[in-house]
Amino acid sequence: MRRPIVLIVDDESSVRETLEILLKSDYETVSVSNGMEAVEVVKTLPVDLVLMDINLPLMDGFETLKMIRAINADTGVVAISASNSASKAVQALKMGAYDYITKPFDTDDLITKLKRYTDRLVLKKEVSYLREELKEKLGYGEIIGKTLVMGRVFELMKKVSRSTSSVLITGESGTGKELVARAIHAMSDRGERAFVVVNCGAIPPDIMESELFGHEKGAFTGAHARKIGKFEYADSGTVFLDEVATLSMALQVKLLRVLQEKTIERVGGNREIKVDIRVIAATNVDLDEAVKGGRFRDDLYYRLKVVPIDVPL
């Protein structure tokens, strides 16, 4: 997939230059100084997201927003307003803007908002693809199967997609456990929300807690800014924990709390944060044996395997 195209619309050259520098590593950027130029760009380029000041010369942000949405309703718009213009930001949201930020903007907040939108964009394309594939005889997503066993797996996937229960997917490496998780997510009510993959076996244990739960500025050496963790980022969506059996016992306790309380706490923080997430976990390890051997908590095991799905070779 190509890099998302972000159109920056602001009459202040310093703001445009700052945003271009900030975004250039992850996005293709185009900058203009007024609404009329912005409309022309949207007509000629497949712009994914517009980052636009509300107070523009020649044609204000509201009229520009209206025209952009008339050209392509799928183009997202993040409105920029002065800190004392909250009413304008709200008006922009009512007119179809995806979100808003205020000047002077917090760069972490801006990056998070843009990433949320572009991740949704990727998901929408994946969901569209998966739904087309779902029409195949016994295929769901990229998973094609013709055996009676796979037919049963597909039926179970359809049923579980209608619930919010935790799912534990087991099977040998290479059987498509992540594809099963993605298909369940795509068919669910959360299908257009974030699907966040965490490969528990690939992340070093000393940073895993920060990856999952995030951290506050100054929480440890090198924590120069607040970081949003995977659970918080996936709020209202799905977290897929691959190789879940590799989690340390300490993190298993914390994961159990997430499943029970639907809350997290950032490393170095003292505030509980509510999260609305669905957890799908996967493993190629026999967790029954891991529980017996004291390597995996039995209470977490039963919380994860509310709906077990075994993917055959």
18-60 pLDDT, tens digit per residue, is 999 999 888 999 999 999 999 999 999 989 899 999 888 888 8
Helix locations, the chain, DSSP H: 13-23, 35-44, 61-71, 86-94, 107-134, 148-161, 177-187, 205-213, 230-233, 249-261, 287-292, 298-304
Q: Which residue has the tokens 């076996």?
A: 201
How crowded is residue 46: how many other Cβ atoms within 10 Å of its Cβ? 11
Token couple for 69: 């949405």
Tell me where in the chain the CATH 3.40.50.300 domain(s) lie. 136-310
Token couple for 150: 């796979």
CATH superfamily of 5-119: Response regulator (3.40.50.2300)
List Cβ neighbours of 268 (8 Å cut-off, separation of 6 or more): 215, 216, 217, 218, 219, 220, 223
The lowest-confidence range among 53-57, 60-64, 140-144, 223-227 is 140-144
- Answer whether residue 305 shows pLDDT above 90: yes
Which residue did the predictor score with more confidence, 102 or 249?
249
**What pLDDT shows up at residue 142?**
53
- Mean pLDDT over each residue of the chain, to the nearest integer: 86
Token couple for 120: 């949704």
Tell me where in the chain the CATH 3.40.50.2300 domain(s) lie. 5-119
Q: Say if CB 214 and CB 225 are below 8 A apart.
A: no
Which residue did the predictor score with more confidence, 139 or 63?
63
Determine if residue 267 is left, alpha or beta; phi over 0 gives left, psi from -120 to 50 gives alpha, anything else beta.
beta
* CA angle centred on 230, ends 229 and 236, rounded to 5°: 115
Q: Which amino acid is at 34?
A: N
How crowded is residue 118: how many other Cβ atoms within 10 Å of its Cβ? 18
CA neighbours closer than 13 Å in the CB half-sphere of residue 121: 22
Token couple for 2: 């190509």
pLDDT tens profile 156-181:
888 898 888 999 999 888 878 998 89
Answering whether pTM is above 0.85, one says: no
Average pLDDT over residues 106-121: 83
Q: How many Å apart are CA 186 and CA 273, to the nearest integer?
A: 26
Nearest to 215 by CA among 267, 251, 265: 267
Q: Say if CB 220 and CB 127 are below 8 A apart.
A: no
Query: Is 274 buried (19+), middle (13-18) or exposed (0-12) by CB count in 10 A?
Result: exposed
- Answer whether residue 261 shows pLDDT above 50: yes
Spell out the long-range contacts of 57-61 with Cβ–Cβ below 8 A and sequence spacing 24 or more: 57/11, 57/33, 58/34, 59/34, 59/35, 60/35, 61/9, 61/35, 61/88, 61/92
Q: How many Å apart are CA 244 and CA 288, to the nearest integer?
A: 13
Residue 235 DSSP code: T
**What pLDDT shows up at residue 84?**
63
**What pLDDT shows up at residue 135?**
45
Topology classification of domain 136-310:
Rossmann fold (3.40.50)
List Cβ neighbours of 202 (8 Å cut-off, separation of 6 or more): 243
